[in-house]
Amino acid sequence: MNQNPITTTVTAVGLAGGAAFLAPVAAPAIHGIAGFAVVGLGVYATGSAVFNATRFLNEKATGILNDGAMVVELIKGSVLSNSRPKAPAKEVPFRRK
């Protein structure tokens, strides 16, 4: 390797100068990128949890009602209401005058 020592020195000084020039910007930039990563991970985790909870409730509603019902129908009271067998209606005498 036959390189010119002046060119090597200029390259080294240029790299050191560029690093010194960008050093005040590098730390906040790294913190900003890390902040985006943490916020993105939180949004992803929240979205996954909501999706999994909705899918679980929808599967339970479908299994209980056996007609492909949605979670809204489950919450409306088809399962939560206290369903007892209803007594047959009594006949009401109809009188004409």
Over residues 6-21, the pLDDT tens digits come to 888 888 888 888 777 7
Task: Tell me how long the chain is.
Answer: 97
User: pTM of the prediction?
Assistant: 0.40
Residues 41-91 have pLDDT tens digits of 999 999 999 999 888 887 776 666 655 555 666 666 655 555 566 677 677
Tokens of 14: 């240029």
pLDDT mean over 29-38: 85
pLDDT mean over 31-35: 85
